[in-house]
Chain A
Amino acid sequence: MQISNRLLDRILPTVTMPARYTGGEWNSVVKDWDDVQVKLVLAYPDVYQVGMSNLGLMILYDIVNRQPGFLAERVYAPWVDMDAAMRREGIPLYSLESRHPLGEFDVLGFTLPYELNFSNVLNMLNLAGLPVLAVERGEDWPLVIGGGVGTVNAEPLADFFDAFVIGDGEEVILEILNACARAKESGARKSELLRALAGIPGVYVPSLYQVAYHDDGTVAAITPTTPEASPRIVRRIVPQLPPPPVDLVVPYVKVIHDRGMVEIARGCTAGCRFCQAGMVYRPLRERSLSEVLTAVEAIVQRTGYEEIALVSLNSASHPQIEEMVRELIARYSHPPLAISLPSLRIDTFSVRLAELFQGRRKTGLTFAPEAGSQRLRDVINKRVTEEDLLATAEAAFAGGWQRIKLYFMIGLPTETLDDVGAIVELVREVRAMSRRYHGRRAQVNVSVATFIPKPHTPFQWSPLVGEDDLSARLALLRRGIKGRGVRLSWHAPRTSLLEAALARGDRRLGRVIHRAWQDGARFDAWPEHFDWEVWQRAFAAEGLDVDWYARRERSFAEVLPWDHIENGVSKSFLWDEYQRALHGETTPDCRLGCVGCGLAETLGCEGAG
Chain B
Amino acid sequence: MTQMNRQRLRITFAKGETLKYISHLDLARAWERALRRAGVPLAYSQGFNPRPKMAFAAALPVGYTATAEMVDILLEKPLVPLELAHRLAVALPPGLQVVSIKEVDLGLPALQSQVRAAEYRVSVAWTGDRADLEARIAALLASPTLPRERVRKGRRRAYDLRPLVEDLKLEDGDAAGYRLWMRLHHGAGGTARPEDVLDTLGLVDVPFSVERTGLRV
A residues touching B (Cβ–Cβ < 8 Å)? 5, 9-10, 12-13, 18-19, 21-22, 24-26, 250, 252-254, 300-306, 334-336, 359-362
B37 interface neighbour in A9, A21, A301, A334, Cβ under 8 Å: A301
Q: Are B19 and A335 in contact (CB under 8 A)?
A: no
In the bound complex, CA of A19 to CA of B18 (Å): 9
List residues of chain B with CB within 8 A of the CB of A301.
37, 39
Interface centre among B21, B37, B94 (most CB of A within 10 A): B21
Determine whether B22 belongs to the interface, using a CB cutoff of 8 Å to chain A.
yes
Q: Are A336 and B50 in contact (CB under 8 A)?
A: yes
List residues of chain A with CB within 8 A of the CB of B29.
252, 254
In the bound complex, CA of A361 to CA of B47 (Å): 8
B residues touching A (Cβ–Cβ < 8 Å)? 1, 17-19, 21-23, 25-27, 29-30, 32-37, 39, 41-42, 44, 48-50, 52, 62-63, 76, 91, 93-95, 207, 209
List residues of chain A with CB within 8 A of the CB of B19.
24, 252
Q: Are B93 and A19 in contact (CB under 8 A)?
A: no
Closest A residue by C-beta to B21:
A18
In the bound complex, CA of A5 to CA of B18 (Å): 9
A306 interface neighbour in B32, B41, B48, B63, Cβ under 8 Å: B32
List residues of chain A with CB within 8 A of the CB of B26.
19, 252-254
Interface centre among A12, A252, A305 (most CB of B within 10 A): A252
B34 interface neighbour in A300, A304, A362, Cβ under 8 Å: A304
A26 interface neighbour in B1, B33, B63, Cβ under 8 Å: B33
A303 interface neighbour in B1, B37, B39, B63, Cβ under 8 Å: B37
A24 interface neighbour in B37, B41, B94, Cβ under 8 Å: B94
A304-B36 contact in complex given A19-B23, A24-B93, C-beta closer than 8 Å: yes
Q: Are B49 and A361 in contact (CB under 8 A)?
A: yes
B33 interface neighbour in A12, A13, A22, A304, Cβ under 8 Å: A304
Closest A residue by C-beta to B39:
A301
> Shortest CB–CB separation between residue A504 and chain B, in angstroms?
41
> Shortest CB–CB separation between residue B71 and chain A, in angstroms?
16
In the bound complex, CA of A303 to CA of B38 (Å): 10
Closest A residue by C-beta to B209:
A9
Q: Are A305 and B49 in contact (CB under 8 A)?
A: no
In the bound complex, CA of A362 to CA of B47 (Å): 12
Closest B residue by C-beta to A359:
B48
Q: Are B63 and A13 in contact (CB under 8 A)?
A: yes
Q: Are A250 and B33 in contact (CB under 8 A)?
A: yes
A26-B93 contact in complex given A304-B36, A306-B33, C-beta closer than 8 Å: yes
List residues of chain A with CB within 8 A of the CB of B37.
301-304
List residues of chain A with CB within 8 A of the CB of B63.
12-13, 18
Q: Are B94 and A335 in contact (CB under 8 A)?
A: no
What are 12 A-B interface contacts by the 8 Å CB criterion?
A19-B21, A22-B18, A22-B21, A25-B93, A26-B34, A26-B93, A254-B25, A300-B36, A302-B37, A306-B33, A335-B42, A335-B44
A19-B22 contact in complex given A25-B93, A304-B37, A305-B33, C-beta closer than 8 Å: yes
Interface centre among A22, A302, A303 (most CB of B within 10 A): A22
Interface centre among A19, A25, A254, A303 (most CB of B within 10 A): A19
In the bound complex, CA of A5 to CA of B39 (Å): 33
In the bound complex, CA of A359 to CA of B94 (Å): 36
List residues of chain A with CB within 8 A of the CB of B18.
22, 24
List residues of chain B with CB within 8 A of the CB of A24.
18-19, 93-95
Closest B residue by C-beta to A25:
B93
Q: Lowest 10 A-B CB distances belong to which pairs? A: A304-B33, A304-B36, A18-B21, A304-B37, A19-B22, A252-B26, A252-B22, A19-B21, A361-B48, A24-B18
A5 interface neighbour in B17, B23, B25, B48, Cβ under 8 Å: B17
A304-B35 contact in complex given A24-B19, A254-B25, C-beta closer than 8 Å: yes
List residues of chain A with CB within 8 A of the CB of B23.
19, 253
In the bound complex, CA of A21 to CA of B18 (Å): 11
> Shortest CB–CB separation between residue A249 and chain B, in angstroms?
11
> Shortest CB–CB separation between residue A6 and chain B, in angstroms?
9
List residues of chain A with CB within 8 A of the CB of B207.
9-10
In the bound complex, CA of A391 to CA of B150 (Å): 57
> Shortest CB–CB separation between residue B90 and chain A, in angstroms?
11
A335-B21 contact in complex given A9-B209, A13-B63, A252-B30, C-beta closer than 8 Å: no
> Shortest CB–CB separation between residue A169 and chain B, in angstroms?
28
> Shortest CB–CB separation between residue B204 and chain A, in angstroms?
15
Given contacts A24-B95, A336-B44, list 19 more A-B pairs with CB under 8 A: A5-B17, A10-B207, A22-B18, A24-B19, A26-B33, A252-B26, A253-B23, A254-B25, A300-B36, A303-B33, A303-B37, A304-B33, A304-B36, A305-B33, A306-B32, A306-B33, A335-B50, A335-B52, A360-B48
List residues of chain B with CB within 8 A of the CB of A306.
32-33, 36
In the bound complex, CA of A334 to CA of B41 (Å): 8
List residues of chain A with CB within 8 A of the CB of B49.
361
> Shortest CB–CB separation between residue B176 and chain A, in angstroms?
11
> Shortest CB–CB separation between residue A328 and chain B, in angstroms?
15
Q: Are B32 and A304 in contact (CB under 8 A)?
A: yes
In the bound complex, CA of A544 to CA of B44 (Å): 60
List residues of chain A with CB within 8 A of the CB of B94.
24
> Shortest CB–CB separation between residue B23 and chain A, in angstroms?
7
> Shortest CB–CB separation between residue A93 and chain B, in angstroms?
18
List residues of chain B with CB within 8 A of the CB of A336.
44, 50
In the bound complex, CA of A254 to CA of B27 (Å): 11
List residues of chain A with CB within 8 A of the CB of B1.
334
Closest A residue by C-beta to B92:
A26
A12-B48 contact in complex given A18-B62, A302-B37, C-beta closer than 8 Å: no
List residues of chain B with CB within 8 A of the CB of A252.
19, 22, 26-27, 29-30
List residues of chain B with CB within 8 A of the CB of A9.
207, 209
